[in-house]
Amino acid sequence: MVKNAFISIISQEQKEENKGSVEFQVFSFTNKIRRLTSHLKLHRKDYLSQRGLRKILGKRQRLLAYLSKKNRVRYKELIGQLDIREPKTR
């Protein structure tokens, strides 16, 4: 459902060209995170999946930190589109 909404925002030409863009990577990590969280609701003791989820969360957090430093406007738009909370600052 979210995937279709985001892909409709990005045109087909841009999608093929920008698979390495920060926005596309964050989007794909978000999809993986949502799938893993729904899996872990059923299988609470699947520790390998929990570890994988933590690794993906860390990767997404680093990408979002990079994007917020480089382009704050694109960062805010992406967070709004994907319905992600802003990370806590230290």
Across the chain, mean pLDDT equals 86
Range of the domain at 46: 19-82
- The structure tokens 């992600």 sit at 84
Residue 80 vs residues 19, 39, 45: alpha-carbon distances, Å: 20, 25, 32
Give the percent of the chain with pLDDT over 90: 71
Q: Is residue 5 part of a domain?
A: no
Q: Is residue 25 part of a domain?
A: yes
Q: pLDDT tens for residues 55-89? A: 999 999 999 999 999 999 999 999 999 999 887 77
Distance CA 79, CA 6 (A): 12
Q: Is residue 69 part of a domain?
A: yes
Q: pLDDT tens for residues 4-13? A: 555 555 554 4
Q: Is residue 3 part of a domain?
A: no
Domain tally, the chain: 1
Q: pLDDT tens for residues 38-53? A: 999 999 999 999 999 9
Q: Is residue 47 part of a domain?
A: yes
